Amino acid sequence: MDLILFGPPGAGKGTQAKILVEKLGLPQISTGDMMRAEKASGSELGQKFADYMSKGLLVPDELVLELFAQRLQKPDAQGGAIFDGFPRTIPQAEALDATLAKLGRKVDAVVALDVKLDAIVDRVTGRRVCRACGQTYHVSYSPPPPSGECISCGSTDIVQRADDTEEKVRTRNAKYHEQTLPILAHYEPTGVVKKVDGEGSVDDITGRILSALGKQ
């Protein structure tokens, strides 16, 4: 199954994708995580990504598509994938459709998480991330342990993302409305879009996603 987890930045796509990896047995393809890893490697390409990311702007399509094409060729993605934060523009959606079609696949479901802007600002400004493994926390709802050690990997390198400030999240939300939201209309005619209430507990939201997919 090829599944797009869709929604504004801070809607919980990454959190849910990590849970769905286990439940559905599919890999998570997060272009944001891949870009942060490239940046951490210190490469020139990583620096280019960082220039856009730090301003809350989208990285140009040609750079994103290169990254995505390489990732989709990996063995773990041959039976489908969970796309998180990709596609973010109509040209990216068209490229995804064309690449999957060549493999005899298609987007089987677009799960659109619906979360109000106030809740997003609260979630994103409180978000903390383990730089070693990507595990996420929230300072109020799921804080890192008092020892400061990551629950997944034990690293103490738990930080706030540079683009997780209120100002940046508002910019990213505006970009989402301008550039990303039209993707829903692109997929709606094929009947694959499933709107899911993205507010509430993590477990409740996972339950709603699985039932929208007919998996529970």
User: Which are the catalytic amino acids?
Assistant: 13, 88, 127, 161, 172
Verify binding: residue 32, ligand AMP, rule CB under 6 A: yes
Q: Which of residues 142-171 bind ligand AMP (CB under 6 A)?
A: 163
Verify binding: residue 183, ligand AMP, rule CB under 6 A: no
Reduced to 3 states (helix: H, G, I; strand: E, B; else coil), residue 212 is helix
Verify binding: residue 59, ligand AMP, rule CB under 6 A: yes
Q: Which is nearer to ligand AMP, 86 or 187 (CB)?
A: 86
Verify binding: residue 64, ligand AMP, rule CB under 6 A: yes
Verify binding: residue 27, ligand AMP, rule CB under 6 A: no
- What is the distance between the terminal CA atoms of the chain, rounded to a whole angstrom? 16
Task: Give the Cα separation of 120 and 166 in Å (integer).
Answer: 10
Distance in Å, CB of 21 to ligand AMP, minimum: 16
Residues sharing a CB contact under 8 Å with residue 98, sequence separation 6 or more, in sequence order: none
Task: Give the Cα separation of 50 and 120 in Å (integer).
Answer: 22
Q: 9 with 48: CB under 8 angstroms?
A: no
Residues found in the chain: 216
Verify binding: residue 58, ligand AMP, rule CB under 6 A: yes
Verify binding: residue 123, ligand AMP, rule CB under 6 A: no
* Residue whose Cβ sits closest to ligand AMP: 32
Element (H, E) at 110: strand 109-114
Chain residues binding ligand AMP by CB under 6 A are: 9, 31-32, 35, 52-53, 56-59, 64, 85-86, 88, 92, 163, 172
